[in-house]
Amino acid sequence: MELKRMYRSELLAAWDKFQRSQLLFPFYDSHSQARTGFLSAVKRGNGYFIERKAQWLLVEKVDEGGTWRINNLLISTDIGWRTAFLLLENAARQKFKRALQLKLKANFILQQWLIAQGYQFLDGIWQKELVYHTGLVLGGGGARGAYQIGVWKALLEKNIQFEVITGTSVGGLNGALITQGDYNQALALWEEIETDKVLDITFKEVEEIDFAAQVDQLRTFLRTSLQQRGVSSKPLRRLLEERLDVQKIQNGCPLYVVTTKVPAFQEVIVPLNECRKEEIIEWLLASAAFFPMMAMTRIKGENYVDGGYRNNLPVDITLQMPITELIVVDVHGPGLDKKYRLPDEVTELVLASPWNLGDLLLFQSGRSSENIDLGYLETKRIFGELQGYRYFFSCRADFESLTKHFFVYLRDKLKINMSSLYPELRRFFRQSVPVEILSLAFLEFFAYWVNVSPVKVFTPEEFIETILKHFEMPIKLDANFSVQEQIEDFIENHNVFSNYYLVLQIYQLEGSLEAAYRRWPIPTLLALFFRYIHNEK
CA separation for the pair 398, 214 (Å, rounded): 41
Indicate if the pLDDT at residue 390 is higher than 90. yes
Q: Please, which pLDDT band fits residue 360 given cuts at 50, 70 and 90?
A: confident
Indicate if the pLDDT at residue 213 is higher than 80. no
pLDDT by residue (tens digit) across 100-118?
Answer: 999 888 899 999 999 999 9
Q: Please, which pLDDT band fits residue 65 given cuts at 50, 70 and 90?
A: confident
Higher pLDDT, 215 or 197: 197
Distance of alpha carbon 156 from the chain centroid: 17
DSSP 270-293: EEGGGS-HHHHHHHHHHHT--TTT
Indicate if the pLDDT at residue 206 is higher than 90. no
- Residue 199's SS3 state is coil
Residue of 21, 76, 169, 369 marked catalytic? 169
pLDDT by residue (tens digit) across 128-182?
Answer: 999 999 999 999 999 999 999 999 999 999 999 999 999 999 999 999 999 999 9
Q: Please, which pLDDT band fits residue 82 given cuts at 50, 70 and 90?
A: confident
CA separation for the pair 327, 315 (Å, rounded): 9
Q: What is the pLDDT of residue 163?
A: 96
Give 231's DSSP letter: B
Indicate if the pLDDT at residue 233 is higher than 90. no
pLDDT by residue (tens digit) across 289-337?
Answer: 988 888 889 999 999 999 999 999 999 999 999 999 999 999 999 888 9
By residue count, the chain amounts to 537
The answer to whether residue 232 is catalytic is no
Residue of 306, 330, 359, 373 marked catalytic? 306
Cβ atoms of residues 296 and 289 within 8 Å: yes
* pTM of the complete model beyond 0.85: yes
Q: Name the average pLDDT for the chain.
A: 89
pLDDT by residue (tens digit) across 487-508?
Answer: 666 666 656 568 888 998 999 9
The answer to whether residue 169 is catalytic is yes
